Amino acid sequence: MNEYEEIRREKARWERCVDKGDIGSFQTVSGLPVEILYTPLDLTNFDYLRDLGFPGEYPFTRGIRHNMYRGRLWTMRQFSGFGTARDTNARYKFLLAHGETGLSVAFDFPTLYGRDSDDPMAMGEVGKCGVAISSLEDMETLFEGIPLGEVSTSMTINGPAAVLWAFYIVTAEKQGVPSERLRGTIQNDILKEYIAQKSWLFPPEPSLRIITDIMAFGAEHVPKWNTISISGYHIREAGSTAAQELAFTLKDGMTYVEAGIKAGLDVDTFAPRLSFFFNSHLDFFEEIAKFRAARRIWAREMREKFKARKPESWLLRFHTQTAGCTLTAQQPENNIVRTAFQALAAVLGGTQSLHTNSMDETWALPTEKAVLIALRTQQLIAEETGVINVIDPLGGSYYVEALTNQLEQQAYEYFKKIDALGGMVKAIEQGYPQREIAEAAYRYQKAVDEGRRTVVGVNKYVLEGEKLEIPILKIDPRVEEEQRERLARLRQRRDNARVQKVLLDLKAACAGKENVMYPILEAVRAYATLGEICGAMKEVFGTYAEPPMF
Amino acid sequence: MARKLRILIAKPGLDGHDRGAKVVARALRDAGFEVIYTGLHQTPEMIAEAAIQEDVDAVGLSILSGAHMTLFPEVMRLLREKGAGDILVFGGGIIPKEDMEALYKMGCGRLFGPGTPTQEIIDYLREKFPDRT
Amino acid sequence: MSELTIDNLLERFGRGDRRACGQILSLIENESTIATEILNRLYPAMGRAYRIGITGPPGAGKSTLVEKLALLSRKEGRSIGIVAVDPSSPFSGGAVLGDRVRMSALFTDPEVYIRSMATRGSLGGLAVRTKEVCDVLDAFGKEYIIIETVGVGQMELDIAEAADSTIVVLVPESGDSIQALKAGLMEIGEIYCVNKSDREGADRIVLEIETMLELRGKNDGWIPPVVKTSALTGTGIAELYEQIIAHRRYLEGSEALQKRRWQALRTEIQRLVEQKVRARLWQNQEINARLEELVTDTMQKKLSPYQAAETLLNEMVGNGKRRSSVRREGD
C-alpha cells in the first residue's frame, strides 16, 4: 500500500505539469477511453500467477504453448480461391513454393450457399469471389498434386460445411490418405452467419445438430481436424467494436459447447478441437489486449463453468486475419503498411495462424504480386524483427494489462445481457447482436464522415486526381460456362440410380437421429453434387429467414 | 409540396455483406429521404418489381461479390422492359474502375467505392433530383 | 401534369399496368392537386376490396404474418394489396421502410402489390394518405388489402377506422404491457393474435387477453376471438384466416359492415369539408385582415378572445349559424 501512495503523489505532481495535448483521439478505435499514461496504480489488483501465469499453462493469458514461436512459428496461411479448381490449384502451388505453410480455401458464393455452378441463382457469381466447387471431381482437381497427408487445410465454409468436408475426406481417400491423418479446419460456425456473414442454409436448430454430428464424427475418425472455427472476424468486419467481437465470439463458442454436451458428448472429447478466428484491426494495443483477454476468459469458462478436465480443452487456439474493412481503395499501397501493423499485433497477441490481406483487395481478388507481398510481410516479421524471441513481450506493460482487464470486463457485461435474453440463439432471433453491430458500424461511419476519425488517403492526405497504378485480377468470364459443361458431363457419366438412392438415405437420416456425416460421405462417393445434397437436406430441415431488424 | 426522395436499397445476388447497404440506408434516412430496404438475396426480377410498386426515384445496389457485370445490367434491363427505364440505378461495392466505366457506358448512375463519405451519395441524389426534398 | 398525361396514366392503370399504379400512388401520397381529380375518376371502381388491419407492438412478427396470410389468400386465387406503414424519424423526416424484407416470397407474384409508406409525422399509426392509397389499390382490382402498422400505447389508432377487420398481434412477452395497453390496442381489436406462441407464457397471455375482452364487452355484437399462431412454423395461420372470413361474414350478415362504411363515408366527407373550410378561411385576405384587427383589440383588452372569435364568425356567416371549422364536432 505504501509504495502506491508514493506513486500516487508523484503522479498527481506530474499531472499538474502536463498539458494534455489535443492530437489523437484519446480513445481506442472501438471508442474505449484511454489515459495518457499507465502506471502501477492501474494494476493495484494485479496478481501475476492468477492473472497471467506461464505460457502453456492455465489461464494461458501469455500464450498457449510452453515455448510459443521458439518451438513453432504461426502457420502462414493465405486465404485463396478464384475461378475454377484448376486456377486455384495453380495459386496454391505458387503460395506453397513461396513459403506458405498452410492452405486456406476461399469458395465462391454459390458454393457457400450450397448451390451448384449451374444453379439459376448462381448466375454471374461463379468463381468471382472464390473457387467454384460443385462436386467431388472439382475437389479432386483443387488438390491435384498436393499431398493431403502432408498439408493442413482450412476451409471457410459454413452452411454446407459437412458436404465440403466430405469432399475433402473422400479426395484424401482417393489419394490413399486415411482420415486419421488429415489436419485442417472447417469454419462451420453457423451462429456468426446469423449475426454477420449471412451465408446460412438451414434454421438454427438443425444447423446445431449438424455441427454436433460433425464434432462427434471428427472426434472418432478425424482426430487431428478442427471441426469448428468460432469466428469473430466477420463480426468485426460487419462493424462491431473489439469488445463486441470478443464477447459475441466467445459466447458463440460457449453455445456450441453447451450444444455438444446436450447432445451427449463428453466435453473433453470435442473441446480440444474447437478453434477460433479473430480479426486484427487498426488499434495496435487494443487488439493485443483482446487476444490475451480471449485466452483468459475461455480458459476460465471451460474449466470452471463447463468443468473440462484436460488442459487441451481450456486453451484457446486461434487463426487471425488482418482487417479487410480497414483497407482503402484510395492509395492502395498504403494497405501494405496497414496490414503489416495488424499482422504484428496478431503475432504479439500470440496467434497460431495468420492470413495477411493483399493491398488490392478493395478492388478485386489479389494478384500474384500482391499476395506475395502479403506473404513476405509475415516472413519479415518472423525472420527480421526479433519479436518471436520472447513470449508475450508486452506482458507486464501497465497499459496492455489494464486494457486486457478492461476488455475482459466488457465481455462479461455482454455475456450478462445475452444471458438475460435467454442465451445466444434467442438473442440472435431477437436481432440483438445484429443491431449492436449495425449501430457500431453506423457510429464508425459517422465519425469518419465528420472527420472525427481519420482514414489516411480518404479524408486526410488525399491525392487529388489519383490514378490507380496497380494491376487488377480479372476472372475469366468463361469460368461459369466451363463449370456448367463439367457438371453436365458429370451428371451423364455417373450412376444416377445410385445417386437417387443415397439422397433418399440422406433425407431419412436427416429426419431421424443418425449422424448425417455417414450418408453425406456415401452421397459424395456416388458423385452427387453439392446442390443435390444440400437440396435434399433443405427438404427436411427447411431454410432460414432473417429476423427483420433495422 | 415537394415530394420526398424515395430510394430503394437492395442487395442483389448471393452476397451477404450488408454493412455498407445498412449504413447508407441509415444515412439517407438521416438526410430526410424515404428508404425502402429490401434485404438480402434479391433477384434482379424482385428488385425491379419492388422499384415499380414503390415508385422509387432511384435504386441503389450494393455488390461486393464480383457479380456486378451481370447484376447491374440485368436490373437496368428489367426496369426498361417494364416501362420504368427512367428510374435511376446507382450503387457501390467492390468494382474495379474498368468495370465502372463499362457500366457507365450502359447508362448506370454513379458507382461509389469503399471510402466514399455518405454525404457524397446524399449530395449526388439531391443533385439528380432537385425537385425532391 | 397535363390532362393528356392523367388520361394516359389512368388508361394504363385500367389495363392493370403496375407502373401506372405506382405513379398514381405517389401522386396521391404527395397530396398534389391532381390527386383529387384522380380519386374522383377512380371512385366508381372502388368498394370491392375488404380491408384487413394488422397492428401491434414492434417485434410481434406482423410482417411475417402478413406474408403468410397473403400466401394463403393467393392459394384461393385472390388478388392482394399490402400497405406497410412505418414511422418517420421525428428528427430528419426520413424513414427506413423495411417491412418488405419479410415478404420476399410475394415479390414476383403479379397479383400481389406491396406499397411501403412512412407516417410523415402523423401520430395515429398510419400516414395521412393511407386510406386513399388503399382506395387506389381497391380501384386497381385488389380483393383484399392488408394494412400493416405499428401500434403501441394509448393514442388514437387510425387503423380501426381504416380497416374493416382489425387484428391486434401480441407476443408472449407483451404480458406486462397488457395492463399498459388497456386503452388503444385493447379497445380496437376485432381479432387478437398471440404470435410466437411456441414461446413460454403464451397461454398465460391468452388468458389475460380474454379477461380484458370480457371487461370490454362486445363490438357490434362480435366477441373477439384470441388465436395462437407461430408465423415461422405456420401454425395457427389457417385458423387466423378463418376468423377473418368469419368476421367479414358476420359484419356483412348483420349489416354492420354497411353501417360502418356509411359512418366512415360520412366522417370522411365531414373531414374533407372541415379541411376545405379551414384552408379557404385563412387564405382569405379580408378575413385575415379582420383577424389582425381583432387580435389588436383583444390585446388591448377591448374584448376577450372568445368574444373576438364570436365576432369574426358572426361577421362571416352572418346569422349566427355555427361553422364547425373553428370547433371540433362534439365540443
C-alpha cell at A110: 454459390
What's residue C324's pLDDT? 42
Number of Cβ atoms within 10 Å of the Cβ of C259: 12
B53 touches chain A (CB under 8 A): no
Q: Do B114 and A362 touch (CB under 8 A)?
A: yes
Q: Which of A503, C115, A165, A547 is nearest to B51 (CA)?
A: C115
Give the chain C residue whose CA is nearest to the CA of B81. C19
For residue A383, tell me if it sits in a domain.
yes
| B interface test, pick of A108, A198, A437 with most B CB neighbours within 10 Å | A198
Chain A CB contacts of C98 under 8 Å are 548, 550
Cβ neighbours around B34 below 10 Å, total = 27
Q: What are the phi and psi torsion angles at A479 (to 5°)? A: -55, -45
A98 CB contacts (<8 Å, ≥6 apart)?
Answer: A372, A375
Residue B96 with chain A: CB contacts under 8 Å: 363-364, 472, 474
Across the interface, do A548 and C98 touch by the CB < 8 Å criterion?
yes
CB A250 within 8 A of CB A411: yes
The one-character DSSP state at A366 is: P
| Cα of A153 vs its chain's centroid, Å | 14
Q: What one-letter code names the amino acid at A371?
A: V
Contact C96 B26 (CB under 8 A): yes
In this prediction, residue C183 carries a pLDDT of: 61
pLDDT digits (tens, 9 = 90+) for A368-394: 999 999 999 999 999 999 999 999 999
Do residues C221 and C251 touch, judged by C-beta distance below 8 A? no
C99 touches chain A (CB under 8 A): yes
Phi then psi for A17, rounded to 5 degrees? -90, -5
CA-nearest residue to B43 within chain A is A121
Nine cell digits for residue B30: 438521416
Q: Is residue A116 part of a domain?
A: yes
Point out the residue among C104, C114, C120 whose CB comes nearest to the CB of B53.
C114
What pLDDT is attached to residue A25? 83
Grid coordinates belonging to C302: 377591448
Contact C317, C323 (CB under 8 A): yes
Q: What is the dotted CATH code of the domain comprising B6-127? A: 3.40.50.280
Residue A99, SS3 per DSSP: coil
Quote the distance between the C-alpha of residue A15 and its chain's center. Answer: 42
What pLDDT, on the 0 to 100 scale, is given for residue C329? Answer: 42
CB A150 within 8 A of CB A140: no
DSSP 8-state secondary structure symbol assigned to residue A439:
H
Q: pTM here?
A: 0.85
For chain A, list residues with pLDDT below 50: none
Can you name the residues that pair with B6 across neighbouring β-strands? B34
Longest dimension (CA), chain B: 41
Confirm if A309 and A268 have CB atoms less than 8 A apart: yes
Cβ atoms of A362 and A327 within 8 Å: the answer is: yes
Q: At B29, which amino acid appears?
A: R
3-class DSSP state for residue C195?
coil
Which among A342, A291, A355 has a CA at the least distance from the CA of A74? A355
Distance from CA of A548 to the nearest CA of C (A): 6
Instruction: Calculate the dihedral angle through the C-alpha atoms of C247, C250, C254, C259, rounding to the nearest 10 degrees.
Output: 20
Task: Enumerate the domain spans of chain B.
Answer: 6-127
Using the Cα atoms of residue A287, residue A289, residue A290 and residue A295 in order, give the sign of their dihedral: positive
Q: CB distance B37–C98 less than 8 Å?
A: yes
Residue A328, in any domain of the structure? yes
For residue A508, tell me if it sits in a domain: no
Query: What residue type is assigned to position A521 of the chain?
Result: L
For residue range B7-22, list pLDDT tens digits in order: 999 999 998 888 999 9
Give the residue from A248, A472, A467, A438 showing the smallest Cα distance to A368.
Answer: A472
The whole-number pLDDT of residue C59 equals: 79
Q: How many CB atoms lie within 10 A of CB A502?
A: 24
Question: Can you name the residues that pair with C222 across neighbouring β-strands?
Answer: C219
Q: What is the DSSP letter of C230?
A: B
Query: Given an 8 Å threshold on Cβ–Cβ distance, is A546 in contact with C101?
Result: yes
Could you tell me how many CB contacts below 8 A there are between chain B and chain C?
93
Q: Is the torsion defined by CA of A446, A452, A455, A459 positive or negative?
A: positive
* Chain C environment of B52 (Cβ under 8 Å): 18-19, 22
A298 in any annotated domain: yes
Task: Decide if C96 and A550 are in contact by the 8 Å CB cutoff.
Answer: yes
Looking at this protein, which amino acid is placed at residue A536?
A: A
Residue A3 in domain: no
Alpha-carbon dihedral sign for residues A474, A478, A482, A484: positive
CB atoms within 10 A of CB B67: 24
Cis peptide before B117 (omega within 30 of 0): no
What pLDDT is stored for residue B1 in this prediction? Answer: 54
Q: How many contiguous H segments (helices) and E segments (strands) does chain C have?
A: 13, 8
For B118, list phi and psi in degrees, rounded to 5.
-60, -30
Instruction: Please count the other Cβ atoms lying within 10 Å of the Cβ belonging to residue A514.
Output: 14
User: For residue B48, what are the CA distances in angstroms to A109, A268, B15, B100, C16?
Assistant: 22, 53, 18, 21, 17
Is A521 among the domain residues? Answer: no
Query: For residue C104, what is the nearest residue in chain A, using CA coordinates?
Result: A545
Query: In chain B, which residue's Cα lies nearest the Cα of A468?
Result: B97
Domain count within chain A: 1
How does pLDDT run along chain C (331 residues), one tens digit per residue? Answer: 566 688 999 999 999 999 999 999 999 998 677 898 999 999 999 989 999 999 988 878 898 899 999 999 999 999 999 999 998 998 999 999 988 888 888 988 999 999 999 998 887 778 888 999 999 999 999 999 999 987 765 455 788 888 999 999 988 877 666 665 556 777 788 999 999 888 888 888 898 888 888 877 766 778 899 999 997 778 899 999 999 999 999 988 888 888 888 888 898 899 889 888 888 888 888 888 999 999 999 999 999 999 999 999 888 876 444 444 444 444 3
Nearest to B12 by CA among A441, A108, A530, A125: A125
* pLDDT on residue C204: 87
Report if residue A109 sits inside a domain: yes
Of A323, A302, A322, nearest to A311 by C-alpha is: A302
Q: What is the mean pLDDT of chain B?
A: 94
The DSSP annotation for B40-107 comes to SSB-HHHHHHHHHHHT-SEEEEEE-SS-HHHHHHHHHHHHHHTT-TTSEEEEEES--HHHHHHHHHTT
What is the domain range of residue A366?
Answer: 48-429
Domain of residue A234, CATH code: 3.20.20.240
C125/C148 Cα distance (integer angstroms)? 9
Say if the Cβ atoms of A430 and C59 lie within 8 Å.
Answer: yes
Return the number of other C-beta atoms located less than 10 Å from residue C47's C-beta: 10
**Beta-carbon separation of C98 and A550 below 8 A:** yes
Nearest one of A548, A499, A524 to A160, comparing CA atoms:
A524
Chain A residue numbers touching C99 (CB-CB < 8 A): 548
What does the pLDDT read at residue A54? Answer: 97
Among the listed residues C84, B71, C101, A285, the one whose alpha carbon sits nearest the alpha carbon of residue B79: B71
The number of angstroms, rounded, from the C-alpha of C197 to the middle of its chain's C-alpha atoms is: 27
Nearest to C26 by CA among C18, C17, C35: C35
Contact C100, C136 (CB under 8 A): no
Contacts of C6 (CB under 8 A, 6+ apart): C34, C37, C38
B40 touches A at CB < 8 Å: yes
CB contact under 8 A, B29 and C22: no
**Which three cell numbers, joined as nine digits, stand for C66?**
402478413
- CA dihedral (A54, A58, A62, A64) positive or negative: positive
Say if CB B117 and CB A449 are below 8 A apart. Answer: yes
| Grid coordinates of A532 | 443435390
User: Which of A529, A405, A341 is CA-nearest to residue A61?
Assistant: A405
Please tell me whether residue A224 adopts helix, strand or coil conformation: coil
Across the interface, whether the CB atoms of C98 and B84 are under 8 A apart is answered: no
**What is the C-alpha separation between A164 and A521, in angstroms, rounded?**
10
Distance in angstroms (rounded) separating the CA atoms of residues A485 and A488: 5
